[in-house]
Amino acid sequence: MKILVIYAHPSHEGHCATILKEVEENLKSKGVPYELLDLYAIKYDPLLRECELYGRDIELAKDTKKHQQQIMDSDMIIFIYPVWWNTMPAILKGFIDRVFSAHFAFKYNPVIPKGMMPLFEPLFKLVYNRFDYGMPVGLLKGKKAVVFLTTGSPRLISYPWTGNRFKKIIKKDMLGFFGIKSRLYHISNCRVLNEWKVAEIKRKVRCALKRIR
Ligand SMILES: Cc1cc2nc3c(=O)[nH]c(=O)nc-3n(C[C@H](O)[C@H](O)[C@H](O)COP(=O)(O)O)c2cc1C
C-alpha cells in the first residue's frame, strides 16, 4: 500500500503537527511507503486559473499534473488540517479545486439513453453550453482516505452550531463526489496542547491506521 499524506497547516508545532508526527512515526515503524505533501512548505499556489475552469478545454498546470500522478500512485490519501471558519484552510481548498479536476476526479454521464442522444444533444448544449451534463460519476473509486481534522471548539459546541458541516464538506461533497471512501477523525477542543491531548491524538492515529500494513 502506498500513501500520500497531505498536510495543510502553516506551523510544525501544535495539534496538527502532532498528528503529522504520529502518522509519520506509525507508517515508518510499519515500513509503509508514503509521500508527504506539505502544502505550506512547498508554497502551493491555490489560485485556480481561468484555463482550469471545467466545461472548457482544460489546460492543466505542470504542478497539477504532478499532484494528480501522486494521487494515482497512491492507494490512500491522509489529510491533516485544522478547521478554519467551519471548513478547510484556503490552501487545501485551492488544492482540491485545481487538482481534483473534471475528467480526472469526476465526470458527468449523460442521463439520456445513447440512441436518443442525437435528438437531445443540441438542446442540452444550448442550456448547459459551458458545462458537461448528466449524472456525476466519481473516477477515483477504489482509493481510500483518512481525514484528521482539529477544531478549537469542543464537540458539544461545534456540532449543535454547525450541524457537522465541516465533516460533510470533505467526506460527502468532495471525497464522496470523487468516489473516494473516507474515515474521519475529529480532534476537538484544540486550545492547549497538553499531555492529555497528545495522548488522545496518539490513540486516534493508532486507531485510524491500525489496518494499514
Ligand atoms: C482563521 C481561523 C479560523 C478558525 N475557525 C474555527 C472554526 O470555525 N471552528 C472551530 O472550532 N475552530 C476554529 N478555529 C480554531 C482552530 O480550529 C484551532 O486553532 C486549530 O484546530 C488548532 O489546531 P493547531 O494547534 O494545529 O493549530 C479557527 C482558527 C483560525 C486561525
Tell me the pLDDT tens digit for each residue of 102-141. 999 998 877 766 677 777 777 766 665 555 567 889 999 9
Q: CB-based contacts of 117: which residues, under 8 Å, 6+ apart? A: 110
Q: Which atom of ligand 1 is nearest to the CA of 19?
A: 26
83 pocket-lining for ligand 1 (C-beta < 6 Å) = yes
- DSSP summary character for residue 56: B
Distance separating alpha carbons of residues 60 and 38, to the nearest angstrom: 21
Q: For the segment 152-210, what is each residue's pLDDT rounded down to a tens digit?
A: 998 877 777 777 899 999 999 999 999 999 999 999 999 999 999 999 999 999 999 99
Nearest-CA residue for ligand 1 atom 6 is 84
151 pocket-lining for ligand 1 (C-beta < 6 Å) = yes
13 pocket-lining for ligand 1 (C-beta < 6 Å) = no
- DSSP summary character for residue 101: -
What does residue 103 show for φ and ψ, rounded to 5 degrees? 70, -5
Closest to 193 measured CA to CA, from 38, 7, 12: 12
Do the beta carbons of residue 186 and residue 153 sit within 8 Å?
no
Render 122-163 in DSSP notation, one character per residue. HHHHHHTTTS--SEEEES-TT-EEEEEEE-SS-HHHHHHHHT
Q: What is the pTM of this model?
A: 0.92
86 pocket-lining for ligand 1 (C-beta < 6 Å) = yes
Nearest-CA residue for ligand 1 atom 17 is 151
